[in-house]
Structure 1
Amino acid sequence: MDISGYAASALGLVLLFILSKSVLVLYQPQKKLNLPPSPPAWPFVGHLHLLGKLPHQSLTQVAQKYGPLMFLRLGSVPTVVVSNGAIGREFLKTYDQVFASRPKMMAAKIFSYNYQGVAWSEYGPYWRDVRKICQSELFTPARMEASKHIRTEEAYYMAKYIWDSCEGNNAVDVHSQIYGFSRCIIARMVLNRNYFSSNSKEALNFKEIVNEYFHLIGVTNLGDFNPYIGWLDIQGYQKRMKAAKKRMDSIMDRIIQEHQEKNPEVSTDASPDFVDVLLSTRSNGHYQHLSIDNIKAVVVDMLAAGTDTSAATIEWALSEILINPWVQEKAKEELDHVVGRERKVEEADLPQLKYLQCVVKETFRLHPVAPFLVPHESTQAVQVTDYDIPAKTRLLVNAWAMGRDPSTWEKALEFSPERFLNSNIDVRGHDFELIPFGSGRRACPGISLGLTLVQLGLAVLLQSFEWSLPSSHENLDMSEVFGLTLPKAVPLRSIATPRLPHHLY
């Protein structure tokens, strides 16, 4: 037998071993459990074939046949999918602590420095420590008030840039301006300076990395669902993850080094920024287990999550407004009544902009920040709604399906902010028919900041400009790109016509 023959035989034996181990895992004898309804599974892959390119949509269709609580086996990973608010409440409130951990996924491991960020760390003392630091140093009312000028300045810069670019009835690259707005705010709040100004090479590099980050965390990576083939990297995702992580690490190294070399005696900073606080916390012995990689992981979480989620929501909101022009008219009427056209809208005006708040809620309903939230994992076996849920079961909460559930929402597929005008439904995790930020222990810690960014950015865009499509005969592409978040597949471009006096830009 020649060398190629030996290689083929060896490869065949390896594949046979992998298949046999996978089948053993998939069909190993178990105590008879009363599992939730489940579609027929395929050998080896289980239900992976059901996911498709847009899993949130595919599983919504499957749930129409098998119900709002389904059991799937994704490769060798037991998974439950929830598509209804009442059932979601059972998992995220009644059994919140049981489902407070996170699954082990290759993208999360690589991007979060071995699960050391806020989003992907296991439920336990370390996670409580870093979440406490984030809440006390970034998201307190005092910190939000102190950073208000940053958000206002960046919102006005965005409007000024669009105003400079909208001459000649040309379509404006709204997508880039919205993402630049959120990126600059988060950078200034976390790092106390703008590392990523909207047109810099580093800003474009950072945006590409964040896009790759959210996409790769959401992809169906076969190695995550069958550990026996993970090392093969059949789809090439691990290679992409490591390349993006290397680029991100280069940025993080420079940021950490600059902060470590900062001389507090000559620094002009009015107060320490978030990285300063993390480094100080590490050195003063309060949290001695914080390594430099821990700090990088937490900072990456803050920068990436704060940039992508708010920007994507503003872009979806403006897109819906463009294809529902009466919404734009009502929002502008409210802005003219509350603010007028002789001054710029401010953060202090937001509580009075009730219709604008409804527009944002309706956007979260149809276009949730994360279609499956961030996946949860059970730490022990539990019984939910009379069904047995084994330990180490992954939980996918289909927030996209919950927002379009016809049993909850009248005319569920229509964009209608008016549905919230006389409603007490909120998005902060207490009303389970609408939980774009999650709920319970693992809810997003930056809900208040996220809501403020979306409302302020949208208010400035609507007060400053009349928005229209580049052609009256052109249909706006509303397709999605699946990942941990759900951005538009085609970046938004629109014609912006100024509606304020020139001196306000």
Structure 2
Amino acid sequence: MDNAANALWNSSLHQSSNVSIAFVTTFLRFSITLAVMSFALFYLYKFLFKGSEREMQHRLPPMLIKPWPIVGSLPEMVLNRPTFRWIDELMKNVNSGIACIRFGDVHVIPVTCPEIGREFLRNQDAVFASRPTIMAADFTTKGYLTTALVPMGDQWKKMKKVMVNELLSPNRHRQLQKKRDEEADNLVRYVYNLCMSAGGIVNVRVAAQQYCGNVPRKLLFSRRYFGKGSEDGGPGFEEEEHVSAVFTILGYLYSFCVSDYIPRLRGLDLDGHEKVMKEALRVIGKYHDPIIDERIQQWQNGVKEVKSDVDDLLDSLIYLKDQKGKTMLTADEIKAQITEFMIATVDNPSNAVEWAIAEMLNQPEIFDKATEEIDRVVGRERLVEEDDLHKLNYVKACAREAFRLHPIAPFNVPHVSLEDTTVAGYFIPKGSHVLLSRTSLGRNPKVWEEPLKFKPERHLKEDGASLTLTESDLRFISFSTGMRGCKGILLGTTMTVMVFARLLQCFSWSIPPANGPTIDLTEAKENLFLAKPLVAVAKPRLPAHVYPVNLP
């Protein structure tokens, strides 16, 4: 019995020993694996974020959210769509007017303070004069061949010269006035026909976007329609599809795509953004490319061969020669620049006018002041012309107020730092994306009294000097400023004030009875448009003979 018991005891000890050894072995293996993985992740982190030690020695702007290793705050970005509203909400808890959020290895710097904004775009303009290399901009510009959306470099300098000297110069602006006049007349004809045939029910968004799509089409291609258009002067299917594609591109251009911050993920289309962008650009190409290709062929074949044959901006781009007399721009450069020109022209004026009229419908006394000014300056026996616009200060004040309170986009086009620097006492690493918040600047209670109220009088000057739509002090953003500022301020201002003044002069506006006593001014969730397109009742307010009837 004793021997059996000893044997059993020894066997138990042996098994227990084996179990202990196995446990220790497993534990050691797990510990070694964990240690190796930790060291690997640490050095991977150090490799991906080469500036981490540098950043630890400097003070970054306040972090909006603690970043994860490697991916930063990308998980939160994806979970909180639309991202711009999430960032704006986080910024409400920051008193500094500047903050930081890391997506992947990119430091994104939101700014809500005008003074700090001026440090970026005035005091250190040259340091922040580049653009990010992102999927949507890459696709839109055919590999960064244009002006506004491309990083700093020789291509930008080349195309900037083309834009400033050939497409947007004051001389070219004067040469193309007749084309703009035709589209202003067509706008009036379209709305007037709706008054006569549709009981005056007008979708203001469609009318404004139609005008803002027609003007660049006329300037670029000498045509109003890609198809037959509508007999009443409105858009046909082709124009509706074209403008819709343009606004789709604008909506996705800087929409916080995952692959913009981890470029190796491009092609996987984790957000679905690439598919949408490719389809929108396919539609743009369907309408633009045949016209461009045919016109290039005409110049190559000698059908167009003298300076007098330069009828529009497309001709100007094709006709350009370098110092050796060779064609300056490739077909792809022309196509990409025309697409960029189109998307830069359509959105701002149409959005400002829709919001302004919506606000004014809720405050009829503002309508009265605006129309009284137009009647005093222009009268009722002719239409507003471009030469009248500089005298319409109250109308421009209404437009400025729409830009302030209802910007077209939540942020300006991102500026990228070309080197490490310090702004407002904070370290800004090289490669950071700086985002000036259009909404927070324009609605800043430290800058504007009653910031959420539509109040045009706040922009009027005591000396009566002519107003502009620009805001150099960045208290709001109408047109961007600095080296990468909008080069089309003259065209953008003319289009905005013209469409606004014509709609105010030619028609009285009222709220449809079915809509209730006021216009619902709720913003859409996914963007800054009115949640519902503005529909209003228009009635002619000028003598019948003033309205254009037969137009080319």
Alignment deviations for residues 416-474 of structure 1 (CA, whole Å, 9 cap, x no partner): 00001127885435222133211101011101110110101100000111111112615
In the alignment, is residue 294 of structure 1 matched against residue 333 of structure 2?
yes
- Indicate conservation of the 8 Å contact 2:361/2:518, yes or no: no
1:7 is matched with: none
Measured after TM superposition, the shift of residue 209 of structure 1 is 1.2
Counterpart secondary structure, 2:352? helix
Distance, in Å, in 2 between the alignment partners of 1:433 and 1:175 is 27
Measured after TM superposition, the shift of residue 228 of structure 1 is 4.2
Counterpart secondary structure, 2:60? coil
- For 2:508, the aligned partner's letter is E
In the alignment, is residue 30 of structure 1 matched against residue 53 of structure 2?
yes
Counterpart secondary structure, 1:238? helix
Deviates more, 1:35-44 or 1:325-334: 35-44
Measured after TM superposition, the shift of residue 68 of structure 1 is 0.8
2:507 corresponds, among 457, 465, 469, to 465
Counterpart secondary structure, 1:302? helix
1:103 is matched with: 132
- Indicate conservation of the 8 Å contact 1:345/1:460, yes or no: yes
Alignment deviations for residues 61-110 of structure 1 (CA, whole Å, 9 cap, x no partner): 32232231101112332111111111000000111111110001111111
In the alignment, is residue 59 of structure 1 matched against residue 87 of structure 2?
yes
Deviates more, 1:194-203 or 1:373-382: 194-203
Measured after TM superposition, the shift of residue 25 of structure 1 is 3.8
Cα 1:28–1:123 shift into 2, 3 Å: closer
In the alignment, is residue 455 of structure 1 matched against residue 517 of structure 2?
no
2:220 corresponds, among 160, 179, 190, to 190
2:285 is matched with: 249
1:365 is matched with: 404
- Indicate conservation of the 8 Å contact 1:69/1:83, yes or no: yes
Cα 1:159–1:133 shift into 2, 3 Å: same
Cα 1:228–1:124 shift into 2, 3 Å: closer
Alignment deviations for residues 362-417 of structure 1 (CA, whole Å, 9 cap, x no partner): 11111224331111111111111221110010110112210000111111110000
- For 2:369, the aligned partner's letter is K
2:105 is matched with: 76
Counterpart secondary structure, 2:538? strand
Counterpart secondary structure, 1:388? strand
Alignment deviations for residues 301-338 of structure 1 (CA, whole Å, 9 cap, x no partner): 11121122222222222222222221111101111111
In the alignment, is residue 396 of structure 1 matched against residue 422 of structure 2?
no
- Across the two proteins, how many residue pairs are aligned to each other? 487
- Indicate conservation of the 8 Å contact 2:140/2:340, yes or no: no
Counterpart secondary structure, 1:442? coil
- Indicate conservation of the 8 Å contact 2:422/2:428, yes or no: yes
In the alignment, is residue 343 of structure 1 matched against residue 343 of structure 2?
no
Distance, in Å, in 1 between the alignment partners of 2:539 and 2:164 is 40
Distance, in Å, in 1 between the alignment partners of 2:212 and 2:407 is 17
In the alignment, is residue 478 of structure 1 matched against residue 501 of structure 2?
no
Alignment deviations for residues 99-127 of structure 1 (CA, whole Å, 9 cap, x no partner): 11000111111111012121111112221
Measured after TM superposition, the shift of residue 265 of structure 1 is 5.0
Cα 1:265–1:26 shift into 2, 3 Å: closer
- Indicate conservation of the 8 Å contact 1:282/1:291, yes or no: no
1:3 is matched with: none
TM-score (norm 2): 0.82
Counterpart secondary structure, 1:340? coil
Structure 1: unaligned runs, 5 residues or longer:
1-15
- Indicate conservation of the 8 Å contact 2:507/2:539, yes or no: yes
CA RMSD between the two structures = 2.8
Alignment deviations for residues 466-488 of structure 1 (CA, whole Å, 9 cap, x no partner): 111112615534344578x8433
Distance, in Å, in 2 between the alignment partners of 1:242 and 1:266 is 33
Counterpart secondary structure, 1:69? coil
Greater length-normalized contact order (CA 8 Å, ≥ 6 residues apart): 1
Name segments (4+ residues, structure 1) moved above 6 Å.
Answer: 19-24, 266-269, 286-289
After superposition, residues 141-152 of structure 1 pair within 5 angstroms as 141-152=170-181
Percent same amino acid at aligned positions? 32
TM-score (norm 1): 0.89
